[in-house]
Amino acid sequence: MGDDPQTVAVLGAGGTMGRGMSANIARAGLTVRAWNRSREKAEPLAELGADVCDEPGRAAAGADVVITILSDADAVLDVARAALGEQAPGAIWLQMSTIGIEGTQACAELAAQRGLTFVDAPVLGTKQPAEKGELVVLASGPDAVRGRLAPVLDAVGQRTLWAGDAGQASRLKLVTNAWIAAVVEGAAESLALAQGLGVDPALFLEAVSGGPLDLPYLQLKGTAMLQGEFAPSFRLALAAKDTRLVRAAADGAGLDLPLIAAVAERFATAAAEHGDKDISAVFLASAPGR
């Protein structure tokens, strides 16, 4: 095996994130083997030269890098146990799903059992950045494999932030997810408050626009809330899963973070009714007259 990875297996290649990531890896000139539980969702990747496989083990066999980009820790571990074990010598498991601290530790232990180098690398971004190769990769793992992974990470992201030993990236992802959830819930409640007080809620977005209180994400999600446009870029069900992981991590660290607890509960409640909609649909749990 040379310095650059030759064959990249993507397990979860037909998902919201995996499809765009797989396409960009293929466009970068790397050999891609793609697997998805629903094969038809990965089929369009064949047009880019990817080998679409019926079984995860077939995709992963002999691969230099195996990427998992799946919904949660249970899915990652189930697929990994079935697929890993016949990789190229010195192969790397690049785990890019958001699965929290315990899930990441379980993956690291499985990687050690199967003789794989484990790199923990969740991403910041949603469907459109994944399609454009503009994700931010939060990576952690051995320094020695950074160069070998660069072609893959450069294909999927606009930048990679290395956070230390494997597991640190997932911790950093939990921190960023806490902020994302707080911004979205804060926007939802501010807009609901405006409506409840008889104020045009669009004036709130205009009032903060361009100033130190403004955020592009606030404007994006706030506008979606007011327009009732909830086509999923980041499904609320997954956001609820992520906030549950944040809350578990905070509890495990012995931290008293009441905002995190409240947001996790609100997201869980909203996802029960609107889980297939975008994260911005959490607004529907607060909007007057819902």
- Per-residue pLDDT at 1: 45
| Mean predicted confidence (pLDDT) in 71-86 | 96
Tens digit of each residue's pLDDT (9 = 90 or more) over 31-61: 999 999 999 999 999 999 999 999 999 999 9
Ramachandran bin of 228, using left for φ above 0, alpha for ψ from -120 to 50, beta for the remaining angles: left
pLDDT score at 290? 60
- DSSP per residue over 192-215, as a string? HHHHHTT--HHHHHHHHTTSTT--
Angle separating helix axes 168-196 and 258-274, nearest 10 degrees? 70
Domain extents for the chain? Answer: 7-165, 171-285
Average pLDDT over residues 253-261: 97
User: Can you list the positions of beta strands (E) in the chain?
Assistant: 7-11, 31-35, 51-53, 65-68, 92-95, 117-120, 123-124, 135-139, 157-162
For the segment(s) 171-285, the CATH number from 3.40.50.1580, 1.10.1040.10, 3.30.1330.10, 3.10.20.340 is 1.10.1040.10
Does the pLDDT of residue 4 top 80, yes or no? no
Question: pLDDT of 175-214, one tens digit each?
Answer: 999 999 999 999 999 999 999 999 999 999 999 999 999 9
User: Which residue, 149, 124, 127, 151, is CA-closest to 137?
Assistant: 124
Average pLDDT over residues 214-242: 97
Which pLDDT belongs to residue 288? 73
Give the domain 7-165 fold. Answer: Rossmann fold (3.40.50)
pTM above threshold 0.85? yes
